[in-house]
A and B are shown apart, each in its own frame.
Chain A
Amino acid sequence: METSIIASCAIRGHQIFLNGTLRYEAPAAASLTEFLVGAYRHFGLSYPKFFKMDVLCKLAFLTAELLLPATGILDRLDAGGIGVVLANRSSSLLTDLAHQQSIQEADNHFPSPAVFVYTLPNIAIGEISIRHQLSGENTLFVADAYSPDTLQAYVAQLLAEGSCQACLCGWLEAGLTSHETFFYVVESHEPSSTTRRPHHVPALETLYAQPLY
């Protein structure tokens, strides 16, 4: 079997790219939430739970929402055969702060279950899995920065041992001053002579660094 990167999707600043093409852009003056909700409307999505999600999950949800249909894997693979492996630096920091604020002052104490739920970064994997009914392997690494080496090695092993036939992978970040997603799908397939992007580290580096992203 061979493994290839079959599609990619990224959110950088107020722009969303699918396979290297700009698909949506919000004005620079828009807030992050305005940008995310604007994208949801622009793509005509209908998933009311989106509005309950925190920023990290909204980022993950939108990226997966554009990327997965573009791959066709949801149609040709069993949901148990699709893994989700993400890495992240700031965990759920933005929501952590909101929760901390809610318990900070004795006379203004209002912790909310709807906030606390999102104080874990792997909830984003849960949201994607629920939306697309993916029951395959999933994990989330905490890393200083996007590190294709770790992700590539781990995902290559998942595919090699047959734990999954395809894997949604990437970097998911919502920090105090910036946010970013870079997701791609890797799939196992029969050896093929047609041009494909092999699943190796240089290809991931190139993809991540391409000017439009």
Chain B
Amino acid sequence: MEVYVTGIGMISALGANVPTALDGLKLGRSGLRPLHRVATRLQGRYVAGEVAFSDNELAMRAALPDADLTRTTLLGYLAASEAWQQAGLGAADTNRTGFISASTVGGTGHAEQHYQDFLDQKPTPAFIDTYDNGDSTEFISRRLGIRDFVTTVNTACASSANAIVLGTRLIQQGVLDRVVVGGTDALARFTLNGFNSLLLLDPTPCKPFDAQRKGINLGEGAAYLVLESEAVARQRGARPWARLSGYGLTNDAHHQTASSPNGYGLQLAMRQALRRADLAPAAIGYLNAHGTGTANNDVTEGQAIREVFADAVPPFSSTKPFTGHTLGAAGAIEAVISVLALTHRLIWPNLNFEEPIADHGLVPAQALHVAPGLQHVLSTSAAMGGSCCALVFSKP
């Protein structure tokens, strides 16, 4: 059973929706700005990929001004609605439909604003109920009228790629006809301070795969894809953006936060994905890499790319200098960016790159360029806890 991508939606530092993000990608316009929205002592010290709307503005955009929703839920709802509408879907039909969403932060950003009041036993908004990672999933699925299968995945920075794999499988097995898959995460003091304590934040715009890279810029956002079985997509005349032709999920089994020296888990994930898609490495025309900009990731991921592709590494880039690292949403945001690459036959630049890493010598794409024959795109994610995921999107 083939699985098609029939709708995409995304909100990120690149803008409120997919068309705005596409413009930004084409113009090489980064969404990174000095951190200013999250109330933290780190303001003025770091850049971040913040979504350029306040919680109130997001609620107005979502036409939910009085619902007291977390930022994570609002971002997720806006992106999922865009994907749903863009797929040409309206009120629930008889097709068995699921919603699988990833989040690592959940309602943390909301909870931390009220935590002191809670400790002081003052009245607080219902933040305990919205703290957990599943809360946004429940709200969004209810609003979209999806009830046949609803679940939340948390495998750190591979979460939403993992959600895409689960949805694909459920269609392949015939459990569902259609599934909205992706993830949402809002920036919070919690994560900013945590990554800062790990000494992983770059105060300036990140430089993935560069010898002088200094670390991550955190970001926030949400992205979802509507996946449908070939039969349902065809029957309702949906326009497919891409076919999800392969996936791989593995564990690096090396360290809680660091990747193994040769990126063993990522190698396994990429090989699994190619094998499932029945493709040779040479068939991949663009690789959207994880490329966080940390010392450890970019050297080990590069080694994994070398192991899989040897001397024939396809054009590749990390698009995190456009969006920041959006954690639980990153896999889905980069899946949407990969589908856009495939659709428009464009290879996105790896902004801010200057000098290759000596260990593997890989040079990413540095300017936008057209790839007329682009047929297959590979997107990878790696996470704390060792979770690794690779996805292959092919021309429908």
Interface of A toward B, CB cutoff 8 Å: 79-80, 84, 89-91, 96, 99-100, 102-104, 106, 109, 111-113, 116-127, 129-130, 132-144, 150, 153-154, 157, 163
A142, B251: Cβ atoms closer than 8 Å: no
Contacts of B152 in A (CB 8 A): 141-143
User: CB distance A130 to B253 under 8 Å?
Assistant: yes
Q: Are A117 and B198 in contact (CB under 8 A)?
A: yes
Contact B250 A135 (CB under 8 A): yes
Interface centre among B151, B152, B268, B387 (most CB of A within 10 A): B387
Q: Pick from A116, A129, A142, A154: contact of B194, CB below 8 A.
A: A116
Q: Cα distance A136–B357 when bound, in Å?
A: 29
- Residues of chain B within 8 A (CB-CB) of A138 are 155, 249-251, 386-387
B195 contacts which chain A residues (CB < 8 A)?
A: 116
- Residue B156 lies at the interface, judged by CB distance under 8 Å to chain A: yes
Pair B151/A106 contact, Cβ less than 8 Å: no
Question: Which residue of A112, A120, A133 contacts B384 across the interface (Cβ within 8 Å)?
Answer: A120
CB-contacts of B112-133 with A (<8 A)? 112, 115-116, 132-133
Q: Nearest-CB distance from A22 to chain B (Å)?
A: 31
Q: A104-B115, A117-B256, A126-B385 are in contact. List 15 more A-B contacts (CB 8 A).
A: A79-B253, A99-B194, A106-B41, A120-B156, A122-B155, A125-B155, A125-B385, A126-B384, A127-B256, A130-B254, A134-B253, A135-B253, A138-B250, A138-B251, A142-B137
> How far apart are A125's CB and chain B's nearest CB, in angstroms?
6
Whether A150 contacts B151 in the complex (CB less than 8 A), given A103-B193, A117-B257, A138-B249, comes out as yes
Determine if A135 and B268 form an interchain contact, defined as CB atoms under 8 angstroms apart.
yes
Are A90 and B132 in contact, CB atoms less than 8 angstroms apart? yes
Question: Are A154 and B190 in touch, CB under 8 angstroms?
Answer: no
Q: Give, as a whole number of angstroms, the nearest-CB distance from A99 to chain B.
A: 6
| Cβ 8 A contact of B386, one of A91, A129, A153, A154 | A129
**A118 vs B106: C-alpha distance in the bound complex, in angstroms?**
16
Contact (A91, B268) CB under 8 Å given A126-B386, A129-B386, A140-B154: no
Give the CA-CA distance A99 to B387 in the complex, in Å. 23
A199–B199 Cα gap in the complex (Å)?
Answer: 45
User: Chain B residues with Cβ under 8 A from A136's Cβ?
Assistant: 250-251
Q: Are A139 and B155 in contact (CB under 8 A)?
A: yes
* Interface membership of B252, Cβ < 8 A: yes
Q: Which of A89, A122, A137, A143 meets B249, CB within 8 Å?
A: A137
CB of A157 within 8 A of CB of B132, answer no
Which residue of chain A lies nearest to B200 when distances are taken between CB atoms in the complex? A113
Report the Cα distance A141→B115, complex, angstroms.
26
- Knowing A100-B112, A117-B256, A122-B156, the reply to whether A130 touches B104 (Cβ < 8 A) is no
Q: How far is the CA of A198 from the CA of B153 in the complex (A)?
A: 27
23 contacts between A and B (CB under 8 A): A80-B268, A90-B132, A99-B190, A103-B189, A106-B41, A116-B194, A120-B154, A120-B156, A122-B156, A122-B385, A125-B386, A126-B251, A126-B385, A130-B253, A130-B255, A132-B253, A133-B253, A134-B253, A137-B250, A138-B386, A139-B387, A142-B133, A142-B152
Please, how many angstroms separate the alpha-carbon atoms of A153 and B254 in the complex? 29
Count chain B CB atoms within 10 A of each CB in A84, A112, A113 and give the residue with the most: A113
- CB-CB < 8 A to B386: which residues of A? 125-126, 129-130, 138
A-contacting residues, B145-172, CB 8 Å: 151-156, 162, 166, 169
Please tell me the size bucket of the interface on B.
Answer: 35 or more
A154 to B264, CA, bound (A): 25
Contact B253 A129 (CB under 8 A): yes
Determine whether the beta carbon of B41 is less than 8 Å from that of A122.
no
- Of chain A, the residue at the smallest CB distance from B112 is A100
Residue of A nearest to B152 (CB): A142
A131 to chain B, nearest CB (A): 9
> Across the interface, which residues of B come within 8 angstroms of A126, CB to CB?
251, 253, 255-256, 384-387
Interface centre among A127, A132, A141, A163 (most CB of B within 10 A): A141
- Kindly supply a per-residue 1/0 record for chain B positions 192-223, scoring 1 wherever the CB is within 8 Å of any chain A CB and 0 otherwise: 01111111000000000000000000000000
CA gap between A190 and B117 in the complex, in Å: 59
**Is B94 positioned at the interface, with any CB of A under 8 Å from its CB?**
no
- Chain A residues with Cβ below 8 Å from B151 are 141-143, 150
A135-B269 Cα distance, complex, nearest whole Å: 10
What chain A residues lie within 8 Å of B189 (beta carbons)?
A: 103
**Given A100-B112, A138-B155, are A117 and B384 neighbors across the interface (CB < 8 Å)?**
yes
Interface centre among B134, B256, B387 (most CB of A within 10 A): B256
For the complex, what is the distance from the CA of A187 to the CA of B169, rounded to whole Å? 20
A116 contacts which chain B residues (CB < 8 A)?
A: 193-195, 197-198
CB distance from A160 to the nearest CB of B (A): 9
State whether A154 touches B250 (Cβ < 8 A): no
Residue of chain A at shortest CB distance from B384: A120
Contact B175 A153 (CB under 8 A): yes
A144 to B115, CA, bound (A): 23
Tell whether, in the assembled complex, residue A100 and residue B154 are in contact, meaning their CB atoms are under 8 Å apart.
no
Set of chain B residues within 8 Å of A120, measured between Cβ atoms: 104, 154, 156, 384-385
The answer on a CB contact under 8 Å between B154 and A121 is yes
Mask: chain B, 50-68; 1 = CB below 8 Å from A; 0 = not: 0000000000000000000
Complex partner residue of B133 from A80, A91, A117, CB under 8 angstroms: A91
